[in-house]
Amino acid sequence: MSLDGTYDDGNIFAKILRGEAPAARVFEDDHVLAFMDVFPQARGHTLVIPKHSTARNLLDEEPRVLSALILGVQRVSRAVRAALNPDGLMVSQFNGAPAGQTVYHLHFHIVPRWEGEALGRHGAGGMADPAVLKALAEQIAAKIS
């Protein structure tokens, strides 16, 4: 998939938004939804997506939606930090398959990092235990402020 294309509302994040697919939900407001990545690159890997959007990537998004989205990313990043006490936090976002994008609904990754712990490979890790993700989601949700 290139940078160009039409938004497909059958993508997995659109299904999660509509409640048609399960997710370990962390936080939502009028603008954004945050949930745990099911193939985490590190413990606490969280995704933040716009709720009212048909943008496939960053380049497609309206400034108004993007503003609310990045504020959501910051808010959830602070909660991830407070909940898990990482040494660092990687915030990433991929546009187009050659850049690593696999789901075509705009999203940001929040990946906690710890000294001496290698980063899992993007899109190549195993599926996490749903019970573990639920517990992490609750831990992070408790620190949203």
Query: Which residue numbers are catalytic?
Result: 107
15 vs 31, beta carbon nearer ligand 5GP: 15
By CB under 6 A, which span of 70-78, 80-88, 93-101, 113-121 interacts with ligand 5GP? 93-101
Q: Does 123 bind ligand 5GP (CB under 6 A)?
A: yes
Find the angle CA(9)-CA(102)-CA(119) to the nearest 5 degrees.
140
Least CB distance from residue 12 to ligand 5GP, whole Å?
Answer: 4
Residues 46-75 that bind ligand 5GP (CB under 6 A): none
By CB under 6 A, which span of 50-58, 71-79, 97-105, 112-120 interacts with ligand 5GP? 97-105
| Alpha-carbon span 44 to 109, nearest angstrom | 10
Contacting residue, 39, 43, 66, 141, with ligand 5GP by CB under 6 A: 39
Cβ(38)–Cβ(133) under 8 Å?
Answer: yes
| Alpha-carbon span 17 to 110, nearest angstrom | 18
Cβ(45)–Cβ(26) under 8 Å?
Answer: no
Contacting residue, 3, 91, 103, 141, with ligand 5GP by CB under 6 A: 103
> Is 134 exposed, middle or buried, given 0-12, 13-18 or 19+ CB atoms closer than 10 A?
middle
By CB under 6 A, which span of 36-44, 48-56, 71-79, 111-119 interacts with ligand 5GP? 36-44
Cβ(92)–Cβ(32) under 8 Å?
Answer: no
The binding site for ligand 5GP (CB under 6 A) comprises: 12, 23, 35-39, 94, 100-103, 123
